[in-house]
Structure 1
Amino acid sequence: MNYEVEIGHAKRARRVYSFDDIGVVPGRRTRDPELVSTAWSIDAFNFEIPVLAAPMDSVTSPETAIAIGNMGGLGVLNLEGLWTRHENPENIFKQLAEVTDERAAVQKMREFYSAPIKPELIRDRLAQVRDAGVTVAGSLSPHRTAEHYETVVGAGVDLFVIRGNNVSAEHVSHAERESLNLKRFIYELDVPVIVGGAVTYRSAMHLMRTGAAGVLVGFGGGASSSTRATLGVRAPMATALADVAGARGHYLDESGGRYVHIIADGGLGTSGDIVKAIACGADAVMLGSLLARATEAPGMGWHWGQEAHHENLPRGRRINVGSLVPLQEIINGPAVFADGLANLMGALRYAMATTGYSDLKKFQRIDIVHAVK
């Protein structure tokens, strides 16, 4: 089968697929939703639902990380955001929510994010989550990791996330900064590390060989991203996940049985997208805009990522996520409308039950169809 199309005499392009291009296929049996398990585990940590709250200021505060943890998921704190730059950021979130002009909002965000990251706030925010008795996870970008990781580990983090639009096995920094060699870094660290994003077989293999416990799959493709418009970069998630799942299988053989978890991070706009992500090989999903709709979310109806306030080239935007609903309703329902924006785990259970699968690993084997347009 030919997976390439000719763009012109000098260039061919690979045919790839987004979640909108595919669907899952019912099998020969069905089962009751109550007989379906959505449990997921990574390293020594077990979760009832395969959901990570994205390390984005508009999504995850210490309070929402605790709430997600109590629901059986994992909240990941952004350790270079407003929560670690300001002692009392609640007023800052309120100020941002009141600004409707986008140019003014970007200027405000640049002002607030220009404050230095305070190690004592990293320690205090992580301690707040740890004291609640849930799994503690924090995230840094590659160029901040070497500077702050000792504070993070010293604060008692359980899972360490290194997250960026594109994370490589060795990040080359400015001459004044220490370069991050992931393989050496992970080897010397005492906690499991999740790294990403990666969107190709080759990049995923490189990250798996560093010793990472999990790989984030995505390239700034979330609702608040404008990477496609500003950089011309696009990585449809169905193909990206299938490619990285292929790398996981080959690395499993290469390493003699070491399983690296795949976490879909981007392009997840509805519960149906979560179903398709797992069907393409994901073990769990990292959610941003879907959780930013929660009444408990710190963004107060607005959603943005780190790229939205970049000092030179914003590659994201602040978006209004619409009407707010309780976090419990988003995760476990009951849903009021049939729009795929609430009861996300109920939808996943029903999809698995309808197609006859009892757990997430088995559901990864489901048949997928592509609808030719």
Structure 2
Amino acid sequence: HRFDLDNVQFVRDMHGAGCFASISLGVKQPDYDTVDQLLAEGLVPEYITIDIAHGHADSVKNMIGYLKQKLPQSFVIAGNVATPEAVIDLENWGADATKVGVGPGKVCITKLKTGFGTGGWQLSALKWCARVATKPIIADGGIRSHGDIAKSIRFGASMVMIGSLFAGHEESPGLTVEEGGQRFKEYYGSASDFNKGEYKHVEGKRILEPIKGLLADTLIEMEQDVQSSISYAGGKKLLDIRKVNYVILGGDNAGEHLLM
């Protein structure tokens, strides 16, 4: 996460522990300063995500170029975007992977506040973007159930990002809250007034997620569910999910059209 974090110290700590380092940056001067400091100290994060709400922008192009010049060994993820044109540009600018999804997350209200976003049609955005992508696509947002992972893979995602499904675990850094005898974890969007500390350009909200135990248990269940998805697809490997047909549910012609 790129807010309220000393990225340089984080990379030091991760490498000191023998782990990969993955950091997020914006596109403002302090972010360029962070890159310069990393370079000066000989610190090379394995992964760097350029994380802004509207990633199809000249500011992202400039940051990708700067990273490729200063830290060429880092794997650069750029986003977020929602159109094939954006994916083509980000790849041409040098991004190694693209994050697709504008506002489909559970605590994001971008579509309600602005009229823009992939909330409600995230799979279509994935399908369109994946058709032109030559590098990995990361589905960011909209994963409400384990089955959504398989659906995202089917429509072209190489991997998914998950927030709300993980937010309610004991390990979550969210504040533990008790209401009506039940324990919850606080979960809020990075663009919420709760996180920003001010009501300005607010596109996120705060919710309470019921505590559901340990993360390890959910990860095991999630793995098993994805394995079952592969089995239902008649395959043995993850990408076999992409070989199945699908139908669109809802509307006057629900289920009538078998689509490839």
- 1:79 aligned to 2:2? yes
Deviation at 1:351, TM superposition (A): 0.5
Counterpart residue number, 1:157: 45
Counterpart residue number, 2:147: 272
Deviation at 1:169, TM superposition (A): 4.5
- 1:327 aligned to 2:205? no
Compared with structure 1, are the counterparts of its residues 150 and 304 closer, same or farther at alpha carbon in structure 2 (3 Å cutoff)?
Answer: farther
Counterpart residue number, 1:345: 223
Counterpart residue number, 2:14: 129
Compared with structure 1, are the counterparts of its residues 280 and 327 closer, same or farther at alpha carbon in structure 2 (3 Å cutoff)?
Answer: same
Structure 2 CA distance, aligned partners of 1:282 and 1:140?
22
Structure 1 CA distance, aligned partners of 2:171 and 2:13?
17
TM-score normalised over the length of structure 1? 0.58
Q: Which has the higher contact order (CA 8 A, sep 6+)?
A: 1
Matches within 5 A, 1:204-283: 204-235=87-118, 236-248=121-133, 259-283=134-158
1:231-256 C-alpha deviation (Å, 9 max, x unpaired): 111312110100110111xxxxxxxx
Letter aligned with residue 305 of structure 1: G
Letter aligned with residue 303 of structure 1: Y
Counterpart residue number, 1:147: 33
Counterpart residue number, 1:184: 65
Compared with structure 1, are the counterparts of its residues 303 and 232 closer, same or farther at alpha carbon in structure 2 (3 Å cutoff)?
Answer: same
Structure 1 residue matching 2:78: 3-state secondary structure: strand
TM-score normalised over the length of structure 2? 0.81
Structure 1 CA distance, aligned partners of 2:98 and 2:122?
14
Deviation at 1:371, TM superposition (A): 1.6
Aligned residues: 231
Structure 1 CA distance, aligned partners of 2:237 and 2:67?
30
Partners of 2:27 and 2:63 within 8 A in 1: no
Partners of 1:169 and 1:206 within 8 A in 2: no
Deviation at 1:194, TM superposition (A): 0.4
Structure 1 residue matching 2:98: 3-state secondary structure: strand
- 1:358 aligned to 2:243? no
Letter aligned with residue 248 of structure 2: H
Structure 1 runs not aligned, ≥5 long: 1-77, 85-120, 173-179, 249-258, 333-342
Structure 2 residue matching 1:171: 3-state secondary structure: helix
1:323-352 C-alpha deviation (Å, 9 max, x unpaired): 2321101211xxxxxxxxxx2221111101
Q: CA RMSD in A?
A: 2.0
